[in-house]
Amino acid sequence: MLPFTYIEDDASLSELVEQYHQASVLVLDTEFVRTRTYYARLGLIQVYDGKTLALIDPLEVSDLTPFWALLQRDDLITVLHSCSEDLEVLANYGQCQPKQLFDSQIAAALCGFGHGIGYAKLVEQCLNISLDKGESRTDWIKRPLTDAQLHYAANDVEYLYQIYPQLLDKLKQSERLAWVFEEGERMTQGRLDAPDGETAYLRVKNGFQLTSQQLAYLKVLAKWRLEQALAKDLALGFVVKDHALIALAKKRPQSVSDIYKMSELTEQEKRRHAKTLVAVLKSADLQNLPQPIDVLALKPGYKSAFKAIKNCLTCIAEAADVPMELIGSKRHIHEYLQWVWEGKTSEPPLVLTGWRGELTASKLEQLSL
């Protein structure tokens, strides 16, 4: 177990960042807590450059700006494992994203370790070390952190730094290193964009059930809910749940008493939001109705077309020794089929771009859909 430096003041952070600016590779991990909040609450940042392993306490350091700036260096490779949630944390707290992102989970998949391998399993397979998972449910906001918790956190970057060269060599041999950085660039795109209230209704479960007029009501409801969630830092479901928004859009209650008659809302939601919900519903723009949400899967021929694409991509994945989930997940197939059926007029779907397109384009073009 490597010794680590615990950073809990601005001066120590500045000194650490100055050292890290000499590095070309930085291994990073974050620990956070997400229960009722819209954004995850950052509890700890682990960093290792091969010389100094540091645990940065974001609850004690008052200015993390130098560290966020470090991560945005064009020539710095930032190594994380299964980093989607880490990127969300960086976007929220640092308004930044790594320029050269190396996700070791994606890299491992392209090296033959299988799709979605967990960190502990990757450490075991690459280093023959079994990690203690005893602290995985730690409340990273609570202080003080125990020695066991700190060592657990430090392990996340110590061993990943040892694994990185192994993955790097395999990727270079297979000429797939560029694929990993391409995936990293794709994963960071749009992370700094503010949540869009105008399109929030498209992400409400079962919105496809609604008519255009009902969608107009859902649109203002979903926008209001998002604004509430952001203002109060609450997960969307802790403002009003999806099924309740759908019911409101369908029933369109005209008064507070109508709201109180609805079984889909909790008593607490009624007390807190009844008056507001009535006003929000009245603000719906019924002169400019949204288009009905087109459910591709309900169209004739969808199942057979989906199966044909999946079979084609499965053959490609097996031939290239790349996990099918990485080349053609259900969502990827759906996007491709929608693009074809809409006349190929929009931007090509993910499965046809970059390294995926190199593998798939010629084969997919031969399908009759």
Measure the CA–CA gap between 24 and 348, rounded to whole angstroms: 34
Identify the three-state secondary structure at position 79.
strand
Measure the CA–CA gap between 315 and 293, rounded to whole angstroms: 32
Measure the CA–CA gap between 234 and 228, rounded to whole angstroms: 8
86 catalytic per annotation: yes
242 catalytic per annotation: no
Q: Which of 29, 49, 158, 269 is catalytic?
A: 29
Reported in sequence order, the residue ranges of 87-136 that DSSP labels E, i.e. its strands, are 100-103
9 catalytic per annotation: no
The owner of tokens 């809409």 is 342
Identify the three-state secondary structure at position 21.
coil
Q: Which residues contact 201 (CB under 8 A, 6 or more apart)?
A: 207, 215, 218, 219, 221, 222, 223, 290
29 catalytic per annotation: yes
Q: Which of 48, 49, 57, 86 is catalytic?
A: 86
Q: Which of 48, 93, 152, 201 is catalytic?
A: 152
Q: Which of 20, 31, 164, 269 is catalytic?
A: 31
Q: Which of 49, 57, 156, 183 is catalytic?
A: 156
Q: Half-sphere exposure of 36 toward its Cβ, with a 13 Å CA cutoff?
A: 5
Secondary structure (DSSP) of 312-338: HHHHHHHHHT--HHHH--HHHHHHHHH
Q: Are 115 and 92 in contact (CB under 8 A)?
A: no
Q: Are 251 and 213 in contact (CB under 8 A)?
A: no
Measure the CA–CA gap between 369 and 366, rounded to whole angstroms: 9
152 catalytic per annotation: yes
Measure the CA–CA gap between 269 and 246, rounded to whole angstroms: 15
**What's the Rg (C-alpha) of the chain?**
24
Q: Which residues have a catalytic role annotated?
A: 29, 31, 86, 152, 156
